[in-house]
């Protein structure tokens, strides 16, 4: 990924995920010719979320997002999916850091239940 707003945002998200769950495991999965670096995935007793970059956004997909409370209304994509939910962040948009940390903690708690 080239160094631009997306890479800066991915770095910020990575630090927030680690803040929410210091024991998180990050791996790059689904490597292919069109995406040789793969997709960053974050796990703690199961998959928490993936982080994908697109031309116009960064997408955080929570594997069990449909089962999570979202009191801060962060989910704004994949709202009709049966299991997952996503957060799309576009250039110039701010992500509620505290709400995001709480959502990651909730996802980890769900994995551990």
Q: Which domains does the chain have, with CATH numbers?
A: 5-112 (3.90.1150.200)
Q: What is the pLDDT of residues 51-62, one digit of tens each?
A: 999 999 999 999
pTM of the model: 0.93
Distance of CA 51 to the CA centre of its chain: 5
Q: What is the pLDDT of residues 82-110, one digit of tens each?
A: 999 999 999 999 999 999 999 999 999 99
2 pLDDT band, cuts 50/70/90, is: low
Per the CB < 8 A criterion, the answer to whether 80 and 59 are in contact is: no
Strands 47-53 and 57-62 come out as antiparallel
């Amino acid at each position: 990924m080239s160094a631009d707003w997306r890479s800066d945002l991915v770095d910020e998200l990575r630090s927030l995920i680690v803040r929410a769950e210091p024991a998180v495991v990050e791996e790059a999965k689904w490597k292919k010719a069109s995406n040789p670096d793969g997709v960053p995935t974050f796990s703690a007793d199961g998959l928490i979320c993936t982080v994908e970059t697109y031309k116009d956004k960064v997408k955080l997909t929570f594997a069990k997002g449909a089962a999570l409370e979202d009191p801060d209304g962060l989910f704004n994509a994949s709202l009709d999916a049966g299991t997952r939910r996503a957060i799309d962040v576009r250039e110039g948009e701010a992500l509620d850091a505290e709400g995001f940390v709480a959502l990651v903690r909730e996802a980890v708690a769900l994995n551990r239940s």
